[in-house]
Structure 1
Amino acid sequence: MPKSKFFEETYPNLCRFVEEIGWIEIGESEQIDSFVRAYDFGGTVYEGKASYPNMEAALQDLDAHIKEYMDENGI
């Protein structure tokens, strides 16, 4: 069965970031007031809002801010 490329096509920046640069965290945290977060070896790249109406909105926000980070840093 062929693999679906839906996630990679829908969230290309997020996928590239995780494959090449850093990692993400999704979900509530006792220490951090954000639902989605992105990190590289230099530290925090992005911390999202405390909540989102749904998972799609959270992933869209994360993908958009990761794109901004990569653009600002020439990645």
Structure 2
Amino acid sequence: MTNFLEKTYPSIANFVYSYGWIEIGQDENSSSFIKAFNEGGDVWIGADKYESLDKALQDLESALCEWLKEVE
């Protein structure tokens, strides 16, 4: 059974199960709020701020959907 996050963000789910990982939140090394990585490094770097966590995840979903089209 597919859970809520996998239904809502299928590209993020595909990415983290098969290609890499994501990081959410601020840290001292980057101003970006949300990022995606694989063994080769940065796959995608989001904006510094979002009006909500859902907007950040929507932005990541869109970016990873495009990235997956290129690699699959």
Is 1:29–2:27 an aligned residue pair? yes
* Cross-structure match for 1:59: 57
The runs of 4+ residues in structure 1 deviating greater than 6 Å are none
For residue 10 of structure 1, what is the aligned residue in structure 2?
A: 8
Kindly state the Cα deviation for residue 6 of structure 1 after the two structures are TM-superposed: 1.1
Distance (Å, rounded) in 1 between the aligned partners of 2:30 and 2:69: 25
TM-score, normalised to structure 2's length?
Answer: 0.93
Residue identity (%): 40
User: For the residues of structure 1 that align with 2:31 and 2:17, how far apart are their CA atoms?
Assistant: 25
Return the TM-score normalized by structure 1: 0.89
Compare CA radii of gyration and give the structure with the larger one: 1
Question: 1:38 is matched with which residue?
Answer: 36
Segments of structure 1 that go 5 or more residues without pairing to the other structure are none
Q: Using the alignment, how far apart are the partners of 1:38 and 1:59 within structure 2?
A: 11
- How many matched pairs? 72
Deviation at 1:25, TM superposition (A): 0.1
Give RMSD over aligned pairs. Answer: 1.3
Structure 1 residue 31, shift from structure 2 partner: 1.1
